[in-house]
Every structure is written in structure tokens, then in C-alpha cells.
């Protein structure tokens, strides 16, 4: 194409994209008008209004995400038909809803990502736009069918991977590569494992797969939502913008420490204790710990009634305990069986003693009346309740597990390793979360507490209903001045309606995060190699359909309780229902840095093939030996140098290095520049120190430096000494 022809095409494309934005603006105006009408809710019940408002709000939110990069490319078919590809779909309502912009997830848009000269998918050309705000800056064309051309052009890709990093992960909707697209659109209904080395884009591919599933299975998935599990809050914050930028908001982000609502993790286990807690062998310990709290009295327990004193002896308690255990009910629910048997025995004994000498067997009515009296007496007896609490206490996961950790005797009775002993039982760790979750099932609910809660909720619902009616009348009084109808009015009403038993108006994300029993339609697990066997039990409970996208890299595993193979973790839950896909191209780490990291990988995981870097950056990674006194100044020098550059930077080091973060805290993150301090100490941190250092070395997208006080590890010999680069 001549220079003049290119300029004419560029003007034409700018006009076309401007027309798409005009259509987007019109769609937004329509959606916002419908949203305001839904807020008014003329003639609708509060519940109907709420449903309509939510639907209209979602539409407004979907349209709002499209301002940046609405249209990023064009496909020209060999038939002459043109299709524009973008972040959302737009349609021509006046022309039988013909698509004027294809959603990137639509089947017709797939060729944009997978067409090559060797396999053009009936396409003649792929055009990629480079935009700034709403304006097309330039474009690149890739013609299919030309001799010798068998790969897609990479100008847009290289521009994206070379761009300075911001505060969060960006979507890759405009630059999805063929191997990534195959995974994103994978139709397997079970568990899909995506493994890839550093920088292969496995996380962002998994998130785009969620967006694709929500697009193709929206009705099924929206009712339950999607759970994304990551290694730490920093990682979740880093990836948290990707799905909203794709118009998807029904997604809950959690670490494994968040899986039990309202639990605060305040401590950290040693690797050995984490390994013990992460093994399925701990299930026997938990079951034994529950059984140990179902006690027999050493001496008969007296219960004083109005007319007689009866006693709960070991024989009665043993019969009641066996009946309760045989019921198969969880501990708290089986307490009713235990109580029923004990109540029966004590009632018969009391009636026999009270009626001795005057009550005949023929007087059945008197017998029954007496039994009723004794039943009521027992029900109101504090001594009886105290005896039940001693023999079969109502337990929560916390009130069982905390005291277990604090007692050698209880640990021994449960067959537990004494390494679990600690002085503060309720100083919860991440490894305690799956145990507490398991105990929630083993213990079950306290039915009496449930009945009290039901009464309280009913009272709150009655109050909320009355207030909502008042708010509704106040809204109608303000209808003449539409500006007074603010979204805050709706929020206030929703806060009250949260108490409404029949209709919980909280957003799905809020409801799901607060409900331990919530089940999701799909779960994404990132850094999955770190999850223990017990962690997987929790996640499988959260997704009965067993629909997962599992993301990880076994070579980066640090946890002793983590996965050594995917099959060992997954086969017990989804036998034959999981598939494996790998990503082999490194889009983050330039070849200069990856060469150094690959040398380390060859030492601790020689069977693992490092990913191939898609680019070079032209900057050699360096090392510099410093003294103890020189280290702070050297770190500050790095920070000052990076402060003058665009992008992000981080210092990674072992504990004690001023201002440094641990390598484990940077998993899944990326920075323009990375300074690694004392790599020899990172290597020395337990058996997985090499994996930690590998993570640290592969966070950089442009520049890597290493400061070391001790000897430089032999695996890092490929670093250039500072000052000689």
C-alpha cells in the first residue's frame, strides 16, 4: 500500500471507529434511560423493581467498559465481507440487528486470533488497530496466502509486551495468540489444567477463559458466579481489573485463607506443620477429635427435678452415644438423638420412682401425664443442659480446633502429631482454613441456634418491609424532580432489604463471599501447585459441578504440602475428567533475563523445559557484590534510578533486607525492573529456596539486577558484573 493509500485508509478507519463510538454513546444513553425508569419502578413491587434495576445496571456497566479499545481490529474474508472485532458486540437495530462490531468471544471472531498464512480460515487479511483513547493512531495489515508467510504478524504483540507496566494486569483481548485462544475457547466441561513457565500468560489466559465462559454460558453461570483463588491479596489486586475491563463482574476473588468467611488469619505455620495439616491423613485426626468430645461420665451426673433426682450413668450415656453416632448425622445435629435417648431413660426412671406405691400400670393417662411433667422438668433443668453440654457439647469448628491445638492430651487422644501443639489455639493460619471448613461439615449446625436466628431474621424482615414502603412513598413524592432520585436512595433501600429473608438484594459477589455454603459454577485456581490435598477438598465443595480452570507451574512449587503432580491432586475428585494444556512462549521475560533463570531451572528441575522468550530487550542483567555497609546505599541507588523511568519496580530479598519483599509475595506479578538481594540466602531458605529464586528472577520485563553480600550462586554465573555491561 502506498503512503497516500495508507493515509486514506487510516482516515476511513478513523471515521468508521468514530461511528462505532457514536453508536456506543447512543446505546449508553438508552441503557441509562432504562436504568432511571427502573429506579422509579412505577407500578412495580420492590422485588420486581430490584430485579429490573439490577438488569439495567449490568447493561450500563457492560457498555461503560468499552471506552478504551472499543474496536481493535478488522477481518477481511476472501468473499469480500468485512468484520470489525472489539471488546463488546454492537448491532444495527434498523437492519435486523446485523452486527456492526463483533464481540471478541463470538465464534465469528475466532479467526482474528488463529488465522495464519498456512491456515487462513477463509480470511484474506487481518488488520490490527493501535488506538489512543477513542482515536485510531495507526494500523498494521497481515495478508494471508502470500508465499513464505506462515505466521501472524507480531507488531501489536511486541508493542503490548514492551509497554511499561502499570499498577495492575491488563487484558490481552487485542493480542491473544493462537495457543492462548485454543485454551480460552476450550469446551471441556471438567477441569482444565494450564501449565506454563514464568511469563507465558497463563493467568491472563485463565481470566479470559472465564470471560468466554460467561459469554457462552451466561444463563448457567451468572446465577452462581465464578470464584478466582489466588496466592495472596497483592496478586488478587493485580489481576482484579482484567474481568471488569471485559465487562464481567459476577466474580469473587479470594485467597485460600478467605474461604471460611469472617475468619482472620494472623499466624504462619512452619513448613513441617503446614505439610501435616495439608495431608489427607489429618481427616482421621479431625474425626477422632470430634469423637473425643463425645464423652462418657466418669461418675454418674445428678439431675435434680421437682420430685426426684435422677442420674446419667456411663451405661445410659454409652447407649445414647452409640445411637447418635449410628444416626450418621453431623455432631451438633446428632446431639438431638443423644438427648432423646438420655431423656427417655431419665424419664422412665423418674416416673417409676415418683409413681412407686400409688401409680398402677392400668392408669395409662396418669403415666402419660407424669411423663409430660418430667419431660418439661428436664427441658427446663440447668443441670440437665449442663450435663448434656459436658457429654455431647455443641461445638463450632473454632471451639473444637483451638482447644485441640492447646492440649497435648487432646492431640494424643486424636492420634495427632505433637508438632501441632501451640500456645494460642485460635491464632489461625492459612493451613487451618481447610481444617475448619472440614469441621463445619463434621459438626453441622446447632438447630436450636438456627431457630433463634430464624426468629430474629423474621423480626428484621418485618421491620425492613415497613421502612421500604416508607422509602417507596418518599420516592414517588420526588418524581417531579428526577434529579432528586439518586442512586444512593436505592443503596439505602438495598441495605435494609439485606434483612429481607425471602429476597436478599445484595450483589452476588457480596452474598457469595459471606456464605460458606455458596457453590460456584466455575472456579479458577491460580498458583495451584501450592495448594495442599486439604485445600482441594475445600474447593471441590465449592464447585459441585467440578468445573475448574487450574493454573500453575510445578517447577515453581514452594509449599511442602503442594502438588508434585496434577494427577495426584485431581484424580481422586475428577477421575478421567481433567485435561492438560501447556503454554510454551514467554511474553513477559526477555531472552537476556530468561537465559539466567533457565540456568537455575536446569539445576533444580532439569526435566522442565523453560519457556521461549518472544523478545529481547537489549539490556543485560547484572550482578554486584556489596558489603553490609554498602547494601542500603546500593538499594537506594536502584530506587532512584527507577523513579526516573516509566513503569514499576520492586526489590526482592530474604527477611531483614530493608524495603524488600519476599519472592513468594511477588508470585504472578510483573515489574519493569527487579532488584534481587542476597540470592544465596534465598537459595538457603529450605528445600524450595531454588524455586523462590526462580520466581524472583523472572518477575522483570525489562531490567534485572542482583546485589549479593555473600558468594554469587554458581547458577547465576551468566550475570554481567556491574560496570562491565
Mapped to the 3 state alphabet, what secondary structure does 278-311 carry? HCCCHHHHHHHHHHHCCCCCCCCEEEECCCCEEE
- Residue 503 has a pLDDT of 55
Q: Which residue has the cell 518477575?
A: 699
- The answer to whether residues 215 and 192 touch, using CB atoms and an 8 Å cutoff, is no
Residues in the annotated binding site for ATP:
196-203
- Residue 149 has a pLDDT of 45
CA-wise closest residue to 405 among 561, 255, 282: 282
- Residue 166 has a pLDDT of 73
* Burial of 33: CB neighbours in 10 Å, binned 0-12, 13-18, 19+: exposed
Q: How far apart are CA 638 and CA 704, in angstroms?
A: 11
Helix (H) or strand (E) holding 276: helix 271-278
Neighbouring residues of 189: CB distance < 8 A, sequence distance ≥ 6:
545, 547, 577
Binned average pLDDT, 10 residues per bin, the chain of 725 residues: 90 96 94 90 81 86 84 94 94 86 95 89 93 91 66 63 79 89 94 95 95 91 92 92 87 96 95 96 98 97 93 97 98 97 94 78 76 92 96 97 98 98 97 98 78 54 54 49 40 44 71 94 96 97 96 92 95 95 93 96 92 93 96 96 93 93 91 97 86 95 96 93 61
- Residue 458 has a pLDDT of 54
Neighbouring residues of 157: CB distance < 8 A, sequence distance ≥ 6:
175, 177, 587, 614
CA torsion 365→369→371→373, rounded to 10°? -170
Residues in the annotated binding site:
196-203
- The answer to whether residues 689 and 683 touch, using CB atoms and an 8 Å cutoff, is yes
Q: Provide long-range contacts, Cβ within 8 A and 24+ apart, for 307-314.
A: 307/350, 307/354, 308/350, 308/353, 308/354, 310/346, 310/349, 310/350, 310/353, 312/342, 312/346, 312/387, 312/391
Helix (H) or strand (E) holding 194: strand 191-196
Q: In this predicted model, what pLDDT tens digit does every residue of 155-193 receive, in sequence order? A: 677 777 777 877 778 888 888 999 999 999 998 999 999
Over its C-alpha atoms, the chain yields an Rg (Å, rounded) of 32
Q: How far apart are CA 40 and CA 53, in angstroms?
A: 9
- Residue 307 has a pLDDT of 87
- Residue 165 has a pLDDT of 78
Q: What is the pTM assigned to this prediction?
A: 0.85
- The answer to whether residues 152 and 176 touch, using CB atoms and an 8 Å cutoff, is no
Q: How far apart are CA 650 and CA 674, in angstroms?
A: 5
**How many other C-beta atoms are found inside a 10 Å radius of the C-beta of residue 240?**
18
- Residue 602 has a pLDDT of 94
CA-wise closest residue to 454 among 399, 502, 522, 524: 502
Q: How far apart are CA 53 and CA 3, in angstroms?
A: 51
Query: What DSSP string describes 673-686?
Result: EEEEE-HHHHHTSS
Q: How far apart are CA 245 and CA 173, in angstroms?
A: 10
CA-wise closest residue to 404 among 289, 275, 296: 289
Longest dimension (CA), the chain: 119
- Residue 480 has a pLDDT of 45
Amino acid at each position: 500500500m502506498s503512503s497516500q493509500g495508507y493515509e486514506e485508509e487510516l482516515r476511513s478507519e478513523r471515521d468508521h471507529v468514530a461511528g462505532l463510538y457514536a453508536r456506543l454513546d447512543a446505546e449508553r444513553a438508552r441503557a441509562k434511560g432504562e436504568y432511571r425508569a427502573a429506579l422509579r419502578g412505577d407500578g412495580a413491587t420492590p422485588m420486581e423493581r430490584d430485579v429490573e434495576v439490577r438488569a439495567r445496571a449490568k447493561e450500563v456497566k457492560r457498555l461503560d467498559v468499552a471506552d478504551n479499545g472499543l474496536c481493535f481490529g478488522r477481518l477481511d474474508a476472501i468473499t469480500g465481507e468485512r468484520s470489525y472485532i472489539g471488546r463488546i458486540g454492537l448491532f444495527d437495530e434498523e437492519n435486523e440487528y446485523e452486527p456492526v462490531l463483533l464481540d471478541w468471544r463470538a465464534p465469528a471472531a475466532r479467526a482474528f486470533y488463529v488465522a495464519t498464512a498456512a491456515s487462513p480460515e477463509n480470511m484474506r487479511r487481518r488488520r490490527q488497530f493501535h488506538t489512543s483513547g477513542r482515536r485510531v493512531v495507526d494500523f498494521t495489515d497481515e495478508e494471508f496466502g502470500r508465499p513464505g508467510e506462515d505466521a501472524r504478524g507480531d507488531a501489536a504483540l511486541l508493542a503490548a509486551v514492551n509497554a511499561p507496566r502499570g499498577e495492575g494486569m491488563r487484558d490481552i483481548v487485542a493480542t491473544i495468540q493462537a495457543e492462548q485462544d485454543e485454551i480460552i475457547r476450550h469446551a471441556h466441561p471438567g477441569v482444565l489444567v494450564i501449565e506454563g513457565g514464568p511469563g507465558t500468560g497463563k493467568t491472563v489466559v485463565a481470566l479470559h477463559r472465564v470471560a468466554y465462559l460467561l459469554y457462552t454460558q451466561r444463563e448457567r453461570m451468572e446465577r452462581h458466579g465464578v470464584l478466582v483463588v489466588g496466592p495472596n491479596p497483592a496478586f488478587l489486586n493485580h489481576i482484579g481489573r482484567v474481568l471488569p475491563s471485559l465487562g464481567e463482574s459476577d466474580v469473587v476473588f479470594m485467597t485460600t485463607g478467605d474461604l471460611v468467611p469472617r475468619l482472620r488469619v494472623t499466624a504462619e505455620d512452619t513448613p513441617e506443620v503446614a505439610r501435616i495439616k495439608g495431608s489427607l491423613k489429618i481427616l482421621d485426626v479431625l474425626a477422632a477429635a470430634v469423637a473425643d468430645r463425645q464423652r462418657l461420665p466418669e461418675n454418674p451426673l445428678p439431675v435434680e427435678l421437682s420430685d426426684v433426682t435422677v442420674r446419667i450413668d456411663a451405661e445410659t450415656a454409652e447407649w445414647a452415644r452409640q445411637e447418635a453416632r449410628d444416626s450418621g448425622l453431623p455432631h451438633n445435629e446428632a446431639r438431638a438423638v443423644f438427648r432423646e435417648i438420655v431423656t427417655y431413660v431419665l424419664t422412665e426412671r423418674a416416673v417409676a420412682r415418683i409413681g412407686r406405691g400409688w401409680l398402677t400400670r392400668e392408669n395409662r393417662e396418669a403415666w402419660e401425664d407424669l411423663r409430660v411433667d418430667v419431660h418439661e422438668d428436664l427441658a427446663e433443668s440447668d443441670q440437665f443442659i449442663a450435663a448434656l453440654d459436658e457429654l455431647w457439647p455443641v461445638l463450632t469448628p473454632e471451639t473444637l480446633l483451638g482447644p485441640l491445638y492447646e492440649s497435648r492430651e487432646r492431640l494424643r487422644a486424636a492420634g495427632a502429631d505433637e508438632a501441632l501443639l501451640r500456645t494460642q489455639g485460635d491464632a489461625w493460619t492459612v493451613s487451618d482454613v481447610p481444617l475448619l471448613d472440614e469441621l463445619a461439615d463434621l459438626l453441622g449446625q446447632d438447630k436450636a441456634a438456627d431457630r433463634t436466628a430464624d426468629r430474629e431474621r423474621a423480626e428484621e424482615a418485618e421491620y425492613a418491609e415497613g421502612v421500604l414502603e416508607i422509602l417507596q412513598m418518599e420516592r414517588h413524592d420526588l418524581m417531579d424532580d428526577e434529579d432528586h432520585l439518586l442512586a444512593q436512595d436505592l443503596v439505602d433501600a438495598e441495605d435494609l432489604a439485606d434483612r429481607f429473608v425471602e429476597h436478599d438484594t445484595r450483589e452476588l459477589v457480596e452474598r457469595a463471599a459471606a456464605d460458606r455454603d455458596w457453590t460456584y459454577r466455575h472456579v479458577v485456581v491460580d498458583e495451584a501447585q501450592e495448594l495442599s490435598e486439604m485445600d482441594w477438598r475445600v474447593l471441590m465443595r465449592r464447585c459441585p459441578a467440578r468445573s475448574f480452570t487450574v493454573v500453575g507451574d510445578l517447577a515453581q512449587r514452594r509449599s511442602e504440602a503442594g502438588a508434585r503432580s496434577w494427577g495426584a491432586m485431581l484424580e481422586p475428585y475428577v477421575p478421567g475428567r481433567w485435561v492438560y494444556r501447556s503454554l510454551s512462549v514467554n511474553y513477559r521475560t526477555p531472552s537476556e533475563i530468561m537465559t539466567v533463570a533457565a540456568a537455575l531451572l536446569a539445576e533444580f528441575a532439569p526435566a522442565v523445559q523453560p519457556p521461549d522468550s518472544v523478545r529481547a530487550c537489549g539490556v543485560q542483567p547484572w550482578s554486584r557484590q556489596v558489603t553490609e555497609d554498602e547494601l542500603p546505599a546500593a538499594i537506594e541507588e536502584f530506587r532512584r534510578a527507577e523513579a526516573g523511568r516509566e513503569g514499576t519496580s520492586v526489590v526482592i530479598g530474604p527477611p531483614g533486607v530493608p524495603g524488600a519483599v519476599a519472592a513468594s509475595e511477588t508470585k504472578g506479578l510483573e515489574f519493569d525492573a527487579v532488584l534481587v538481594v542476597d540470592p544465596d540466602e534465598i537459595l538457603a531458605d529450605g528445600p524450595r529456596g531454588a524455586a523462590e529464586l526462580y520466581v524472583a528472577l523472572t518477575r522483570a520485563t525489562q531490567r534485572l539486577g542482583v546485589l549479593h553480600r555473600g558468594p554469587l550462586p554458581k547458577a547465576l554465573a551468566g550475570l554481567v558484573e556491574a560496570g562491565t555491561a
